[in-house]
Amino acid sequence: MSKPLIVVTGAGSGIGAATARLLSAQGHPLLLLGRRLEKLEELALPRALCRKVDVTDRDAFAAAVREAEERFGPVDAIVNNAGAMLLGRIADQGAEEWDRMIDLNVKGVLYGVRAVLPGMLARGTGTIINVGSVAGRKTFPNHTAYVATKFAVHAMSENLREEVAAAGVRVVTVAPGAVETELLSHTTDERIRQDYEAWKESAGGALDAHAVAEAIAYAYHQPQHVTVREIVLAATGQQA
Ligand code: NDP
């Protein structure tokens, strides 16, 4: 029997790309979303619809999901992975960086949920996987605005889980510690970037994105009556 459609946001790099590769190798058709279409297409995955979508554009997000469903059938899961970590001190960080993280990390997740949830509720099945963070459970230096968005992901996911549990829809939060990806490169404060790199090194290095993809796939592949509510994983050497 053919496997159902899964949506992966931010699939062009890091955790999203590793997840797309793994789920594709497991036989799933995919909808891959991100702003750099070439990064999605470079993955060259079979039965993968690649669309240049900014997930803060609610209508474009929903339209891409409809297009994928017309091609591959109903969405069985979404991995709301697209996100940005713009570290900074609140006294001097540009407020537009807070806006960007809140729009992407919080509203982008809500838009993803809205694009798939009505269909999942109607079918009485489906899985929503939101990528949170260890920084969605505890605080770190220079992370004030970022932790606000990741704590929000954890809170929204748990509340949503309660809302849809009786309808048979699963909500999973996957919360990684430091992972070696492009994420840090978007922080504009050079000194903060260097401190973060030194912190990662002192912990013996960060996780490989594939380890997070494996955790996502593990949660997804449980029988539908089993919800892995949260997975927190980090490099063994990461103390914080
Ligand atoms: P990356 O920067 O490699 O991946 C983020 C992805 O999101 C990119 O592919 C980017 O593609 C996409 N993206 C960014 N903005 C948008 C947007 N507006 N619309 C659509 N896609 C967008 O980092 P990671 O793989 O590390 O990050 C993935 C998730 O993991 C994030 O939510 C992050 O917060 C979380 N996380 C990461 C950790 C880490 O240490 N790396 C630790 C804990 C959590 P494009 O630019 O083409 O749009």
Expressed in angstroms and rounded, the spacing between residue 12 Cα and the centre of ligand 1 is 9
pTM above 0.75, yes or no: yes
Q: Which pLDDT tens digits describe the chain residue by residue (240 residues)? A: 799 999 999 999 999 999 999 999 999 999 999 999 999 999 999 999 999 999 999 999 999 999 999 999 999 999 999 999 999 999 999 999 999 999 999 999 999 999 999 999 999 999 999 999 999 999 999 999 999 999 999 999 999 999 999 999 999 999 999 999 999 999 999 999 999 999 999 999 999 999 999 999 999 999 999 999 999 999 999 999
CA terminus-to-terminus distance, the chain: 44
| Ligand 1 atom 17: residue of nearest CA | 54
Expressed in angstroms and rounded, the spacing between residue 19 Cα and the centre of ligand 1 is 12
pLDDT (0 to 100) of residue 175: 98
pLDDT (0 to 100) of residue 119: 98
Which residue out of 56, 181, 212 has the highest number of ligand 1 atoms within 8 Å of its CB and is therefore the one to mutate? 181
Contacts 24+ apart (CB under 8 A), 163-168: 164/117, 164/120, 164/121, 165/227, 167/120, 167/121, 167/124, 168/124, 168/125, 168/126, 168/224
| Ligand 1 atom index nearest CA of 177 | 42
Residues with CB under 6 A from ligand 1: 9-10, 12-16, 33-36, 39, 54-56, 81-85, 104, 131, 133, 176, 178-179, 181-183
CA-to-CA distance for 128 and 77, rounded, in angstroms?
A: 6
pLDDT (0 to 100) of residue 1: 73
pLDDT (0 to 100) of residue 171: 99
Domains and CATH numbers, the chain: 5-233 (3.40.50.720)
DSSP letter for 31, please.
E
